[in-house]
Amino acid sequence: MSGIRVSALFRPLNSKEKTYHGDSINIRGIDSESFVFKDEKDEETEFRFDKVFFPGSEQADIYEFLALPIVKAAASGANGVVITYGQTGAGKTYSMEGPSIIQCDEKQKGLLPRVVDGIFKAIKSSDDIIKYTIKLSMVEIYMERVRDLFDRSKDNLQIKENKMQGIFVNGVTEISISDSAEALRTLSTGIANRAAGETRILILALNSGPCVHMLISYISQRSGFTPVLDTIAICYGSLYGKLILVDLAGSEKAEKTGAEGRVLEEAKSINRSLSALGNVINALSSPGRGSHIPYRDSKLTRILQDALGGNSQTALLCCCSPSPSNASETLSTLRFGARAQHIKQSAHFNVKEDEEETISPPAVSSTKNESMERILAKLAERMEPEDVQLLKQLFVLEGIFFDPNSVEEVESAYEDVTSRTISSLQKAVEELVATVDELKKENETLKALPQESYMLLNPTLFNMVNVDRV
C-alpha cells in the first residue's frame, strides 16, 4: 500500500432525510472508485478515491479493502491506523463498531470486531514458533486531554516518543488479551466509559518474538562484520506492531451544533483538533512542503504523527450522508479525503531490542534509506570511508527510525548513532591501551632478566630485546 488508502462511504438515507428530500441523493456513481457530487448550488464535482462504498455497501467489503491489509501487516510488525472521519451521524461509529461490538448480526459487524478477529486469525496462521502478546489500550481526547477509557482516574495522559515505540501514550492502561471474545468484552467496558461526541482512539499493540527465521538471517549478515562492529552489534528479540483505530468526533462546525456553554466549548475544542488534523494533512500533501509539519498543535495530530507522517499503513474512511440536506458538510468531508490522498508514506517494521535474542530487522524502507544516506553523507565529511561503511551496516541493523522530514529528529538520530559509535570506539581504544600496557610491562620484566634466561624463555624475544639494546 502506498500513501494513505482513502475511501468514501455513503450510508443509506435516514428517515429524517427521506422526510425532507424523499429518495433523492446528491451523488451519481461512475465506477467503484469515482462519482459525481452535486453541491448546494447544483454544481457538480467529480471525486476519485481508492474505493467508493455506495449506500448499501457491505461492512465486510469495507473491512477487506481498508483494514485487512493493515491487520496482516501489523501481525508482521508494521504499524497501522484506520481512521473514520465525517460529520455527526454520517456513520463513523457504525462503520467502526456496527450496531454493537458484542451482540451483532455477522453482516452488520463493524471494523473493530473484524479487526480483532482478523488479528487472532493472522496469529493462528503464523509460524508456531512466534509467540504473540496482544495488549489493548483505549483513550479518548476530551478538551485536549487524553483520557484512559480503561481507567477513568487517568484523565490527562501525556504523549511521548521514543525510538523503539515511536509515538506512545505514557502510562496508558494496557490490557493483555488472549482471544477475540475476551478482547471484545474488554473493549465494551472502554466503550461504555466514553463521552458522547469525542474522538476515540483504540490502540492494539502486538508483540511477537522470538522469531527464529530472522535469527538465521542475522547470522548471515554478521559474517561480514569486522570485530569493531561486533563489539557494538545490537541484539533484536521481537517485533511489535501497533494498530490504531480512530473514531473521530463529528467534523461539523461548532456553530452549526447549536450548542451553548460547556457543550459549545467542547465543540470548539473538537473543531480545533480536527482543524489541526486538516492543517497537518495540508502540510503533508503540499507538493513543495517545508520541513515543519504542525503535529504538536493538538493531541490528536501528535498521537497520529506516525500514522500520517511516515511509518504506518494508514486507511481513512470518509463517512458521508448522501442527502442533499447535508451537501455542504459532505463536500468538506470529501475535500478532506481528497487532500489526504496526496500524502505519501512508507510503512516499516518495528524491531524491539531484546537482550537475549538476536535477529535481524527486515529491510529498511526507501524513505529511511534516503535519510540514512543523508546522514552518512554528513558523516563522510569527517570520517574515513571504511568507518562510514560500518555505520551504514549499523543503520540497517539498528532499524533506526525517525521522521525524515523533521530536522530535529534527523539531528537526534544522527547524534544517537554517532555517540554509540564513539563509545564503542572508545571502548576498543581502552582495550588496546590496556593490552599495550600489559605488553610493555611484560617487556620490562623480560629486559630485567639475565640474557641466559631470555634465551631459555624465548629465543625470538631474546633477539628482539638484543636488537633493542643495540
| 88 near ligand ATP, judged by CB under 6 A | yes
Residue closer to ligand ATP by CB (options 89, 210) is 89
Question: Facing residues of 242 across strands?
Answer: 205
What b/e readout covers 198-216, taking b as 16+ CB neighbours within 10 angstroms? bbbbbbbbbbbbbbeebee
Asked whether 78 and 346 are in contact (CB, 8 A), the reply is no
| 94 near ligand ATP, judged by CB under 6 A | yes
| 12 near ligand ATP, judged by CB under 6 A | yes
Look-up of cell digits 456513520? 91
Q: How far apart are CA 11 and CA 14, in angstroms?
A: 9
Look-up of cell digits 476515540? 200
* 440 known ligand binder: no
| 89 near ligand ATP, judged by CB under 6 A | yes
Q: How far is the CB of 133 from ligand ATP (least distance, A)?
A: 31
* 86 known ligand binder: yes
Binder to ligand ATP among 52, 73, 81, 86 (CB under 6 A)? 86
Binder to ligand ATP among 11, 147, 299, 302 (CB under 6 A)? 11
Of all residues in this chain, which one has the CB nearest to ligand ATP in the complex? 91
CA 169-175-179 angle, to 5 degrees, is: 130
Q: How far is the CB of 134 from ligand ATP (least distance, A)?
A: 26
| 71 near ligand ATP, judged by CB under 6 A | no
- Side-chain-side CA neighbours of 266 within 13 Å: the count stands at 16
- 402-409 contacts: CB < 8 A, separation 24 or more? 402/163, 402/371, 403/293, 403/305, 403/309, 403/310, 404/310, 404/367, 404/368, 404/370, 404/371, 405/289, 405/291, 405/293, 405/309, 405/310, 406/291, 406/293, 407/291
Give the x/- contact pattern for ligand ATP in 142-161, rule: CB under 6 A. --------------------
Q: How far is the CB of 246 from ligand ATP (least distance, A)?
A: 12
Q: How far is the CB of 152 from ligand ATP (least distance, A)?
A: 20
| 250 near ligand ATP, judged by CB under 6 A | yes
* 221 known ligand binder: no
Contacting range for ligand ATP; rule: CB under 6 A; set: 67-75, 91-99, 131-139, 156-164: 91-99
178-217: which residues touch ligand ATP (CB under 6 A)? 197
| 90 near ligand ATP, judged by CB under 6 A | yes
* 89 known ligand binder: yes
| 167 near ligand ATP, judged by CB under 6 A | no
Q: How far is the CB of 110 from ligand ATP (least distance, A)?
A: 9
| 241 near ligand ATP, judged by CB under 6 A | no
284-343: which residues touch ligand ATP (CB under 6 A)? 319
Number of Cβ within 10 Å of residue 117's Cβ equals 17
CA 318-321-323 angle, to 5 degrees, is: 150
Helix (H, G, I), strand (E, B) or coil at 40: coil
Task: List helix spans (H) across 286-343.
Answer: 299-303, 305-309, 327-340
If you ran DSSP here, which 8-state letter would residue 64 be given? I
Q: What is the Rg, in whole angstroms, of the alpha carbon atoms belonging to the chain?
A: 29
Contacting range for ligand ATP; rule: CB under 6 A; set: 6-14, 257-265, 285-293, 309-317: 6-14
Q: Which residues contact ligand ATP by CB under 6 A?
A: 11-12, 14, 86, 88-94, 197, 250, 319
Which amino acids are annotated as binding site for ATP, given as ranges? Answer: 86-93
Which amino acids are annotated as binding site, given as ranges? Answer: 86-93
